């Protein structure tokens, strides 16, 4: 039996990590937690967030700032109970095979952190503290306005009053807040401290591979506004034939799309800012991107090449079914894990796309011109799609997709070039050269 590995190819059998968020309210802790969870799940690593606020909320749905005052014994008791309930559920989840649990709470005192550490250590769970520290008043207020006032705590309340209440709540936390290791007596903790949204980071005693991957990912996050544009190459000669793989040229309609792409991009950008263009190393993507403006930097990534179909490269689905009938069935049974003979699976593609995702997180405006399977995987990352379903998604040709990451989730817009193209979507079991996607397949 092959050893169980995580998405990056490293054994995780025995690793359990609790990522413990630390920081005052409105410092982006939940933003970080949900990004980390999405990234890990995309890599098929079992990850789950436990938000203490949600546990507290079932008991005290609309607390005022007083509730968070240390002097308020009843509030303190209930908040403690919420932390214990979240911890209880998280430990249960770990016992059932969870790999990375994320404890999303302020954890703003040394005592609370020590309690989390001791409780996890007893269960053989490694603890990685992740603190977001920010003193930029404007940034904190923006966060309060954008995120906190839409929280269930303030449902139906006057925004002005709610903001004031939230600021009072922060002040109550500030009274007891100790930044991680600020006195040097938490120096043996494993931690990542992110200051002012990444302008400085401190990394302390990272011990193993999986910890380092999480840390590297989190230190690359930024919150500057930007978008990511995704497009498949224009229709290719192989697409017309219903053949997969290869390195074919564009069809006449594919060339039309290439010519129209600059206008499509300009319309979707809204203002005049240059993008960076990433293509694969294959002719059909380079050709599709060739009319984009001169002042756009262009870059070819081997990692963006289409899923390698191995011995089936250049075949139609009918030919695959004829020559490798068992493979044809196996692939449809588990399309995400099926690896073509001498080629790749979707799971392999996700592994090779991981550095691309890391780069995308670091970067600002990027347009990616790539291939069907690659686009499905990148789209699944941003839109949090289930890996078992993403290989079946319909991604039409001659369509530009614009994704704009927000605090929670990603906005999507589509721009059709209105240039006809064959469908390259294929339903389970089908060997049709071209068929119409079922409605459920549309991403």
Q: Active-site residue numbers?
A: 104, 233, 306
CB of 434 to a copy of itself, least distance (A): 24
Q: Report which of 180, 37, 20 is spatially closest to residue 105, judged by C-alpha positions.
A: 20
Q: Does 5 bind a copy of itself (CB under 8 A)?
A: yes
Distance between CA 157 and CA 367 in Å, rounded? 41
Q: Locate tokens 């890391």: which residue?
A: 358
Q: Does 297 bind a copy of itself (CB under 8 A)?
A: yes
Q: Does 302 bind a copy of itself (CB under 8 A)?
A: yes
DSSP calls for 41-105: HHTT--EEEEEHHHHHHHH-SS--GGGG-TT-HHHHHHHHHHHHHHHHHHHHHHHTT--EEEEES
Q: Which two tokens stand for residue 61?
A: 């749905």
CB of 325 to a copy of itself, least distance (A): 20
Q: Does 212 bind a copy of itself (CB under 8 A)?
A: yes
The answer to whether 431 and 441 have CB atoms below 8 angstroms apart is no
Q: State the Cα angle at 395 between 355 and 310, rounded to 5°.
A: 60
Q: Does 337 bind a copy of itself (CB under 8 A)?
A: no
The answer to whether 439 and 375 have CB atoms below 8 angstroms apart is no
Q: Does 65 bind a copy of itself (CB under 8 A)?
A: no
In the complex with a copy of itself, the residue whose CB is nearer, 43 or 421, is: 43
Q: Which of 9, 71, 97, 439 binds a copy of itself (CB under 8 A)?
A: 9
In the complex with a copy of itself, the residue whose CB is nearer, 72 or 363, is: 363
The answer to whether 351 and 336 have CB atoms below 8 angstroms apart is no
Distance between CA 376 and CA 338 in Å, rounded? 16
Q: Does 219 bind a copy of itself (CB under 8 A)?
A: yes
Extract the runs of DSSP E, i.e. beta strands, from 126-226.
Answer: 126-133, 191-195, 200-204
Q: Which of 214, 344, 368, 437 binds a copy of itself (CB under 8 A)?
A: 344
CB of 190 to a copy of itself, least distance (A): 10
Q: Does 291 bind a copy of itself (CB under 8 A)?
A: no
Q: Which of 175, 205, 266, 406 binds a copy of itself (CB under 8 A)?
A: 205
CB of 224 to a copy of itself, least distance (A): 13
Phi and psi torsions of 263, nearest 5°: -65, -45
Number of residues located near a copy of itself, criterion CB under 8 A: 41
Q: Does 199 bind a copy of itself (CB under 8 A)?
A: yes
DSSP calls for 221-249: ---S---EEEEEPPPBHHHHHTB-SS-PP
In the complex with a copy of itself, the residue whose CB is nearer, 228 or 443, is: 228
CB of 9 to a copy of itself, least distance (A): 5
In the complex with a copy of itself, the residue whose CB is nearer, 165 or 308, is: 308
Partner residues linked to 130 by β-bridges? 21, 192
Phi and psi torsions of 432, nearest 5°: -60, 145
- From residue 238 to residue 277, the character string flagging contacts with a copy of itself as x (rule: CB under 8 A) and all else as - is --------xx------------------------------
Which residues form the interface with a copy of itself (CB under 8 A)?
2-3, 5, 8-11, 187, 199-205, 209, 212, 216, 219-220, 246-247, 297-303, 308, 313, 341-342, 344, 348, 351-352, 355, 359, 362-363
């Amino acid at each position: 039996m092959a050893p169980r590995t995580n998405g990056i190819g490293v054994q995780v059998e025995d690793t359990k990590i609790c990522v413990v968020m630390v920081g005052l309210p409105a410092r982006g802790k939940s933003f970080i937690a949900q990004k980390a969870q999405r990234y890990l799940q995309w890599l098929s690593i079992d990850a789950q967030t436990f938000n203490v606020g949600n546990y507290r909320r079932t008991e005290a749905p609309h607390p005022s700032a007083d509730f968070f005052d240390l002097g308020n014994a009843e509030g303190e008791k209930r908040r403690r109970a919420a932390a214990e309930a979240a911890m209880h559920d998280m430990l249960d989840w770990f016992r059932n095979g969870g790999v990375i649990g994320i404890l999303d709470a302020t954890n703003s005192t040394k005592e609370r952190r020590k309690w989390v550490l001791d409780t996890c250590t007893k269960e053989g769970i490694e603890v990685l503290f992740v603190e977001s520290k920010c003193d930029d008043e404007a940034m904190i207020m923006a966060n309060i306005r954008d995120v906190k006032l839409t929280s269930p705590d303030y449902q139906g309340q006057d925004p002005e009053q709610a903001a004031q209440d939230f600021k009072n709540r922060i002040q109550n936390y500030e009274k007891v807040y100790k930044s991680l290791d600020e006195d040097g007596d938490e120096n043996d903790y494993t931690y990542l401290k992110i200051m002012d949204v990444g302008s400085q980071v401190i990394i302390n005693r990272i011990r193993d591979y999986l910890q380092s991957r999480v840390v590297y990912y989190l230190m690359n996050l930024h919150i500057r506004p930007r978008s990511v544009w995704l497009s498949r190459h224009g229709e290719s000669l192989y697409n017309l034939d219903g053949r997969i793989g290869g390195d074919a040229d564009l069809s006449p309609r594919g060339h039309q799309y290439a010519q129209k792409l600059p206008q499509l991009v300009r319309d979707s950008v809204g203002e005049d800012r240059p993008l960076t263009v990433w293509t694969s190393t294959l002719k059909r993507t380079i050709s599709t991107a060739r009319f984009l403006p001169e002042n756009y930097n262009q870059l070819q990534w081997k990692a963006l090449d289409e899923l390698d179909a191995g011995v089936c490269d250049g075949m139609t689905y009918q030919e695959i079914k004829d020559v490798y009938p068992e493979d044809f069935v196996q692939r449809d049974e588990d399309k995400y894990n099926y690896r073509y003979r001498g080629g790749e699976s979707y799971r392999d593609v996700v592994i090779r796309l991981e550095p691309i995702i890391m780069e995308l997180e670091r970067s600002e405006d990027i347009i990616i011109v790539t291939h069907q399977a690659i686009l499905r995987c990148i789209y699944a990352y941003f839109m949090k799609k289930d890996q078992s379903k993403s290989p079946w998604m319909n991604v039409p040709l001659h369509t530009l997709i614009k994704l704009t990451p927000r605090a929670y989730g990603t906005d999507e817009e589509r721009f059709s070039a209105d240039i006809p193209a064959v469908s390259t979507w294929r339903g389970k079991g089908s060997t049709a050269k071209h068929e119409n996607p079922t409605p459920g397949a549309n991403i």
